[in-house]
Amino acid sequence: MLFDYLPVLTFLVMIVLLGIALTVLIPLVGPRKPTKAKGLPYECGIVPAETARRRFSVTFYLTAMLFIVFDVEAIFLYPWAVLLRSTLHVFGLIEMVIFVALIAVALAYVWRKGALEWD
Amino acid sequence: MSAAATSVLLAVVVAVVKGVLIIFVLMTAFAYLTLAERKVSARIQLRYGPNRVGPFGFLQPLADGVKLFTKEVTAPEGRDRFLYLLAPALAACAAMLAFSVIPINQTICIGGTHGAGPLSASCPGGYPLHWDLAHLNIGLLFILAITSLGVYSIFLGGWASNSKYPLLGALRSSAQLISYEMAVSFALLGPVLLAGSLNLETVVNQQHSLWFVFLQPMGFLLYFTGALAETNRLPFDLPEAEAELVAGYHTEYTGMHFGLFFMAEYINMVTVCSIATVMFLGGWMAPFFFLPTWLGPIWFVGKVVLLLLLMMWVRWTFPRLRYDRLMQFGWKVLLPLGLANLMLTSVFVALH
């Protein structure tokens, strides 16, 4: 029921206010004397060489894509896991064995293709 | 006032009271966890640790807090101003919000008759006092969803800083967090299968005769390993490997903004240990049958503290992994083991 979420909403409002207070208001307490050197991004003491908005390894994208596939499958399993004991029994088990076998095949495929290697 | 309006008002007031309590307890836990971490680390390395501020250094967190509050906040030029501020706030908010569905004791019935049996949480005719802020029937899904928001804060913080070390730290961290999140999701399916519910109180009640850690030792190990990685603890603290990345995603944060990231990290530790306690270690159940059961919250806190100490012990026991090995460990070891554990458990549950 949506009524159950009323406490969550209340708490959300409280901690959002707290978060705003801590990020925006508390820093006003301290001193503020900005200089040019303080504003530079930290690069171990030297003047930053080039922009930090640069390209990065494609493996990170690949990991994120694989994560979406496998995590959605994991979330699919949750409703099934709730019902297996009370309603689904062996029928649900057989269906899910097929589903998990497909996940395992997918994992074996990306493994074999070398998508999990970092070099 | 109509009955509906009264019940809405009552729910809001109760939520505010519980919310203030949760914020207070989590803040205190955060403060003293930093002290405990330093004390435990010091003892493991045969040092004393902080012992100057107050007796045994007990006022050290207060001094640290005052220092964080009064520090000058410097921020790098060229940052994305909104995201730079959003990231630490999001980290702290998500960490605290996740705690709102964790039950630390069984529902107490005020005024009515408690439903029969140890598994019942019903309370006809009275007011059921739940020991969690929100009594959701999808509590576990809620936690998984909210804790995932932490990835956004880390990535946004690292990217918005316009600096190279934070960017690298943020990339590594997000890849690591999402990889291990999967392992965690699969590991938590075991107790869900056994309990047949996502409501955390029901999960604990199902463990009244036998804790799930004995039925799911593999699941518990998988979860705890994944939890170490989720909270960026050693041996999985690659995001802030200080020898190579300065401080990772929060390199460019100072003062209270850094403090919020720090707070989120420790509150997340408390949360993952609480989830482990609820899902595997029987929540508020007494550890031995001869101990009194009405001390529920004490047993709960005791189990959480033991797990937290275990995390600190692990920190000084294992060396840090290399990044490629870390990712391969998640995908090639934890994920297949999680799938195998899931299959075994579901066969056991379906045929039992």
Give the pLDDT confidence of A7-25 residue by residue, as tens digits. 889 999 999 999 888 888 8
CB contact under 8 A, A7 and B335: no
A119 occurs within a structural domain:
no
Contacts of A103 in chain B (CB under 8 A): 339
Q: Per residue in A69-99, pLDDT tens?
A: 888 888 888 988 888 888 878 888 888 889 8
CA distance B11 to chain A (A): 7
Q: pLDDT confidence of B222, banded at 50, 70, 90? A: very high
Q: How far apart are CA B346 and CA B206, in angstroms?
A: 17
B226 occurs within a structural domain:
yes
Q: Mutate which of B164, B245, B267 to test chain A, going by most A C-beta atoms within 10 A?
A: B164
Average pLDDT over residues B57-69: 86
CA distance B320 to chain A (A): 17
Q: Which residue has the tokens 């999990």?
A: A116
CB contact under 8 A, A19 and B93: yes
Whole-prediction pTM: 0.89
Please work out, in degrees rounded to the nearest 5, the angle formed at the alpha carbon of residue B36 by the alpha carbons of B33 and B42. 140
CB contact under 8 A, A14 and B16: yes
Any bridge partners for residue B110, and if so which? Answer: B127
Nearest to B72 among A11, A33, A43 (CB): A33
Contacts of B327 in chain A (CB under 8 A): 63, 116, 118
B344 occurs within a structural domain:
yes
What's the domain range around B276? 32-38+69-104+137-351
Q: Is the dihedral of CA B300, B302, B305, B311 positive or negative?
A: negative
Q: How far apart are CA B188 and CA B181, in angstroms?
A: 11
Q: How far apart are CA A45 and CA A48, in angstroms?
A: 9
CB contact under 8 A, A84 and B350: yes
Q: Structure tokens of B177? A: 């967090």
What is the number of structural domains in chain B?
A: 1
Q: Are B312 and B269 in contact (CB under 8 A)?
A: no
Determine which of B48-57, B140-149, B275-284 has the lowest per-residue pLDDT on average.
B48-57
Helix (H, G, I), strand (E, B) or coil at A38: coil
Q: Per residue in B73-83, pLDDT tens?
A: 888 877 888 88
Please work out, in degrees rounded to the nearest 5, the angle formed at the alpha carbon of residue A59 by the alpha carbons of A57 and A65. 130
Percent of chain B with pLDDT over 70: 94
Does the structure show a pLDDT above 80 at B207? Answer: yes
What's the domain range around A33? 2-113
Q: pLDDT confidence of B118, banded at 50, 70, 90? A: very low
Q: Per residue in B296-349, pLDDT tens?
A: 888 999 999 999 999 999 988 888 888 888 888 888 899 899 989 988 998 888
A118 occurs within a structural domain:
no
Average pLDDT over residues B32-56: 88
Q: What is residue B121's predicted lDDT score, i.e. its pLDDT?
A: 56
Q: What is the CATH number of the domain that holds A82?
A: 1.20.58.1610
Number of Cβ atoms within 10 Å of the Cβ of A117: 12
Q: Is A43 exposed, middle or buried (0-12, 13-18, 19+ CB in 10 A)?
A: middle
A6 occurs within a structural domain:
yes
Chain B residue with Cα closest to A82: B196
Q: What is residue B114's predicted lDDT score, i.e. its pLDDT?
A: 61
Chain B residue with Cα closest to A35: B74
Nearest to A71 among B136, B181, B350 (CB): B181
CA distance A20 to chain B (A): 7
Contacts of B22 in chain A (CB under 8 A): 11
Contacts of A117 in chain B (CB under 8 A): 324, 328
CB contact under 8 A, A78 and B189: yes
Does the structure show a pLDDT above 80 at A31? Answer: yes
